Amino acid sequence: MKLFIDQLIEQIQAKRTPCIVGLDPALERIPESWLQKQGITQESSLVDCAEAIYQYNLMVLDAVADLVPAIKPQSAYYELYGSAGIVALEKTITAARDRDLLVVLDVKRGDIASTATAYAQSYLPSKPAHPLEADAITIVPYLGEDCLEPFFEEATKWGKGIFVCVKTSNPGAAIIQEQQIDGRYLYEIIADLIKPASDKSIGESGYSGIGAVVGATYPEAAIRLRKQLPNSLFLVPGVGAQGGGKEGIKACFNADGLGAVVSSSRAIMYPHQYDAADSNQKTIRQAAINLVGQVNEILK
């Protein structure tokens, strides 16, 4: 069984980029002209809307599949459409795999004991085959070790990845994550809970798939966490639309240029909202190329 982390590092090196693309399909962001071609109006059914977001995802996947190692669907955008949305998510995962992309499913689950195990088993096991199987998922840690261990155990069993929300990119997180206890930030204490599992699951690449979400918007925190978790993979949101800059991105990586993946969603999926005339396969691809170039320049 080849570990997720080793597959990811291999793909990062093959495609020469640590960038991944978030798939956050929102009808209000998709160009009206494209929706009209799909026959989508304000009166459209949930089934039709879910199919439309899947079709938009296919356009994005075809635009970026040869450029990046992985995609990151955010589950909430699919759950919005009920069972039809879950089907769209399942089909998106299958389409990504058909294009040899790894899948980081952004679900941010967090519970304890058997409930946490049930969540983990919804997304991580490879047998029996499960339509929502991902290569890695995101979780939240604030119920303590009881909510982390079931996810770590299931991920380790199947060679999958876990990204614990440690220092997230949103400004409002500081009121919790930057609370100090005995002179240490709470996010550092959360990192302590990750390290034992991370150290036990280091792959041939020298990295562990038991990692952390660390926003590019907080460089000083990223520097602290990179030292604290030298072998953990970081999932780095906050670039593009959220404004994470050069120093925040660079701080998440090790000297070998590895150790993190940089995720961008809106800036790639909807380039017409930034500096492109339209959002289509060509402009989406160009937005991804621009991101790859920017991040590679930072990591030189």
Query: Which residues are identified as catalytic?
Result: 108
The DSSP result for 167-211, as a single string, is: E-SSGGGHHHHT-EETTEEHHHHHHHHHHHHHHHTB-TTS-EEEE
Sign of CA dihedral 22, 23, 25, 30: positive
Cα–Cα distance, 238 to 46 (Å, whole number): 30
**DSSP character for 107?**
E
> Is the separation of the CB atoms in 213 and 223 below 8 Å?
no
Cα–Cα distance, 263 to 277 (Å, whole number): 23
> What is the SS3 assignment for 270?
coil
How many other CB atoms are there within 10 angstroms of residue 269's CB atom? 29
